[in-house]
Structure 1
Amino acid sequence: MRVDRPDDSPPRRVLVLGGTGTIGRATVRALLARGHVVVCLIRRRDPLGPADPTALPKGATARVADLMDPASLARDGICGEPFDVLVSCLASRTGLPDDAWAIDYQAQVNALRAAEAAGVTHVILLSAICVQKPILAFQHAKLAFEQALTESGLAYTIVRPTAFFKSLSGQIQRVQRGKPFLVFGDGLLTACKPISDDDLGRYLADCIDAEDRRNRVLPIGGPGEAITPKAQGEHLFALLGREPRFRHVPVALLDGIIAVLSTLGRLVPALAAKAELARIGRYYATESMLVLDPATGRYDAQATPSTGSDTLFDYYARLVRGEAVAERGDHAVF
């Protein structure tokens, strides 16, 4: 579907990072619908295997480039062509320290420099709302690049979304099999305003022409009230016509797992990585994905902006009916 741009503004040449992920594809679709020329830089998942350009929406151009190699970025990605806007939906796949600093920081810096040399004047960055309270390596890496971007002299729009539908859909098959819905603590420890890939993709694409979004850091959530894990479970059981059943997992259990893995990780590097993944899981189990009030240290649902029309519970209904398939990715807790 074609979408008109405001004030008949001209189409842009847009360079996209992370265009093969679920959010990236949604963003590419939105960019194409607005008439922009879209070139996506693809990194190989398997260094020995080919990238799959068919993962991109029709109309986008795919180019395979090594984001860790500035020469490859210039030669294979930019190809001597001019660009107006860089849109980055790039993110590390695991969140582990080496991966995070390589992708969430260094690859982004490399792409920023290459894009600037190609004439880019505006960068739209998909970040994450969890960087408000940085504890983990990937959060520090994202913040480091945010700082590099804001100090680059280019116009920027940094978008920090709340939770994604795919991240909150991992227990549907479990519950369909008759098992209880897992929650940490009482299921009320956290809340979020989840946003769909399509709503987020449209928001990112609209940042190109939205002057009021320039040189700003923008938290964003989906429509409706903030939702707790308990509410997610209750609604899922209602969709299935069953009485709610919950299994309450104490946060202390995660703390014990982290302590053991951290100790053993001093001897076995693979266990150190598992300890970091457990810390990531604990973070999402205990911190809300909402705007953090720096004055009070509390999360504020009312201060978390909403956009779009897709709701998590409508998405749950489509999954239950078999009308959608959840692509969950690497950061899912369950």
Structure 2
Amino acid sequence: MLGATGTIGRATADALLRRGHDVVCLVRARPGAPAPVTPTDPAGQGGSASVRLVDVADPVALARDGFSGEPFDAVVSCMASRTGSPKDAWAIDHRAHLNVLAAAKQAGVAHFVLLSAICVQKPQLAFQQAKLAFEAALIDSGLRYSIVRPTAFFKSLSGQIERVRAGKPFLLFGDGTLTACKPISDGDLADFIAGCLDDESRWNRILPIGGPGEAITPRQQGEALFALLGRPPRFRQVPVALLDAIIGGLSLAGALLPSLAAKAELARIGRYYATESMLVLDPATGRYDAAATPSTGTETLFDFYRAVLGGAAAPERGDHAVF
């Protein structure tokens, strides 16, 4: 398994262990990072886990230190670029995954489960192009595959909990109805990913997946937060044109300073998620279709909000946070 140190990856490793699988987690070493924690089997089903530090950018090191000449039945990858910048995306979402694919074939792997993203349906950004390029390579590889494309994660929709609790208004792009999604929890997504190994209906397929219930808009997310706090809703609308101006300024400045070019790409990512729904895209109409977006699991975003407001820890949101 790859990506076991991320929130989805940790949940997926636990889901695999609950199903009795023996899991070897190949973890990227990072200078100054704490030692990775070996996943545990909370249900006591007999699965075992170990962790190996590997350099996924080095095919020789990956085969030597990761696969180590041992046979494996499957690869599950929740690995992704940390920033979404073009350099990082092509290095991790594409080239590193190609290295893993080659090593997997050499190790006799029969099935490759890939965590991708539903936003690759309408690719406008470098990380989407990189993910699609590897998806194509995986499909053409001859291995059995399951490509999982989830909708929005709870952690990506948790950024305004504290500002609302502190009495501030909920920020919206436009009127808050530009986009919609079917948010999915870490646990529900992990169970779906782990189930790809055994459920033949998920083999050799691209699998868009969302959480339970109807699609919800950002405005509905804000209304729910205020309701859970027992307060009347307050919103502040941010024009999308403001993001366009920021992107334009950073792009111009980025011609002189590469660091600002990278920030421009992050701003483009923010704009994409502010204006595109995380639902299945109907290629015939070019519109997002909530009814065509499959659902799984039991935990809703509003259950998650309730838990965090009740004292549960909010997840680390990483480099893609807009608010």
Q: TM-score, normalization: structure 1? A: 0.93
* Equivalent residue in structure 1 for 2:149, among 151, 160, 167: 160
- What are the Cα deviations for residues 24-66 of structure 1, in whole angstroms up to 9, with x where unaligned? 01111110001011000000232xx365221633642000000
Letter in 2 for 1:56: P
1:56 is paired with a residue of what secondary structure?
Answer: coil
2:45 is matched with none
Whether the aligned pair in 2 keeps the contact of 1:161 and 1:219 (CA below 8 Å) is yes
* Equivalent residue in structure 1 for 2:129, among 140, 148, 151: 140
Q: How does 1:164-179 map to 2 (within 5 A)?
A: 164-179=153-168
Rounded to whole Å, the distance in 1 between the matches of 2:85 and 2:286 is 26
Q: Does 1:54 align with 2:37?
A: yes
- What are the Cα deviations for residues 93-124 of structure 1, in whole angstroms up to 9, with x where unaligned? 00000000000000000011111101101000
* Equivalent residue in structure 2 for 1:280, among 266, 269, 273: 269
TM-align CA RMSD: 1.0
1:4 is matched with none
Unaligned runs of 5+ in 1: 1-15
- What are the Cα deviations for residues 138-192 of structure 1, in whole angstroms up to 9, with x where unaligned? 0000000000000001010001000000000000011111111001000000000
The Cα of 1:71 is off from its aligned counterpart by: 1.1
Q: How does 1:59-208 map to 2 (within 5 A)?
A: 59-208=48-197
2:235 is matched with 246
Unaligned runs of 5+ in 2: 42-47
Percent identity for Structure 1 against Structure 2: 71
Whether the aligned pair in 2 keeps the contact of 1:105 and 1:141 (CA below 8 Å) is yes
Whether the aligned pair in 1 keeps the contact of 2:152 and 2:181 (CA below 8 Å) is yes
Rounded to whole Å, the distance in 2 between the matches of 1:180 and 1:136 is 30
| 4+ residue segments displaced more than 6 Å | none
Pair 50,286 (structure 1): closer, same or farther in 2 beyond 3 Å: closer
Rounded to whole Å, the distance in 2 between the matches of 1:271 and 1:50 is 26
Rounded to whole Å, the distance in 2 between the matches of 1:33 and 1:269 is 45
Range moving further from structure 2, 55-64 or 120-129: 55-64
Range moving further from structure 2, 320-329 or 238-247: 320-329
Whether the aligned pair in 1 keeps the contact of 2:158 and 2:314 (CA below 8 Å) is no
Whether the aligned pair in 1 keeps the contact of 2:177 and 2:218 (CA below 8 Å) is yes
Rounded to whole Å, the distance in 2 between the matches of 1:53 and 1:278 is 31
2:297 is matched with 308
Instruction: Report the count of equivalent residues.
Output: 317
2:10 is matched with 25
Q: TM-score, normalization: structure 2? A: 0.96
Letter in 1 for 2:109: V
2:29 is matched with 44
1:11 is matched with none
